[in-house]
């Protein structure tokens, strides 16, 4: 991923965070605590994380064709690091004490912002499968 593309993605994320009311629905909803491992939290809310990711990147950042082969086909969003890995890494950073719950809005916001560091490519199914 080029620096320009990552910067474009970062700007897109900043605009989404400022304008979206989606994140507010998680305010005050506590997750974790009682020693529940962060990896279990991430697996439990995987579907919600996928929905959030789809909402953030639904515009495909304006991409209409595969960024690998250039073909105009149905596109998949492909991470340079998997969504669950990103989620677990960020949760481990912001929620080191497993005995204390964390506000889900804090986690979701951090999860979205973490995507400034990891590219989301728009690839056709064939290229997504080929590149992993």
Mean pLDDT computed over 72-95: 91
DSSP structure string for 53-117: HHHHTTTGGG--S-TTT---S-EEEEESS-HHHHHHHHHHHH---TTS-EEHHHHHHHHHHHTTT
Contact assessment for residue 72 and residue 65, using Cβ atoms and an 8 Å cutoff: yes
Q: End-to-end alpha-carbon separation of the chain, Å?
A: 15
Q: What is the pLDDT of residue 38?
A: 96
- Residue 47, classified by CB atoms within 10 Å of its CB into exposed (0-12), middle (13-18) or buried (19+), is exposed
Mean pLDDT computed over 8-20: 92
Using the predicted structure, report yes or no on whether residue 43 has a pLDDT greater than 90. yes
Q: What is the pLDDT of residue 77?
A: 82
Using the predicted structure, report yes or no on whether residue 60 has a pLDDT greater than 70. no
pLDDT tens-digit series, residues 118-129: 888 888 999 988
- At residue 86 the predicted structure's pLDDT band, cuts being 50, 70 and 90, is very high
The angle that helices 83-94 and 104-114 make with each other, rounded to 10 degrees, is 120
| Collapsed DSSP state (helix, strand, coil) of residue 123 | strand
Beta bridge partners of 79: 120
- At residue 54 the predicted structure's pLDDT band, cuts being 50, 70 and 90, is confident
Instruction: Residue 59: name the closest of 103, 132, 120 by CA.
Output: 120
Domain ranges for the chain: 3-18+39-131
Q: What is the pLDDT of residue 61?
A: 67
| 122 membership: H or E segment, kind and range | strand 120-124
């Amino acid at each position: 991923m080029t620096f320009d593309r990552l910067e474009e993605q970062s700007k897109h994320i900043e605009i989404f965070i400022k304008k979206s009311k989606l994140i507010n629905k998680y305010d005050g909803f506590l997750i974790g605590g009682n020693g529940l491992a962060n990896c279990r939290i991430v697996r439990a809310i995987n579907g919600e994380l996928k929905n959030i990711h789809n909402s953030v990147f639904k515009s495909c950042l304006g991409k209409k064709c595969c960024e690998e082969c250039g073909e105009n086909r149905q596109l998949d969003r492909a991470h340079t690091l998997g969504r669950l890995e990103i989620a677990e890494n960020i949760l481990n950073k912001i929620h080191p004490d497993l005995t204390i719950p964390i506000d889900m809005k804090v986690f979701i916001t951090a999860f979205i912002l973490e995507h400034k560091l990891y590219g989301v490519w728009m690839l056709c199914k064939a290229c997504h499968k080929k590149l992993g």
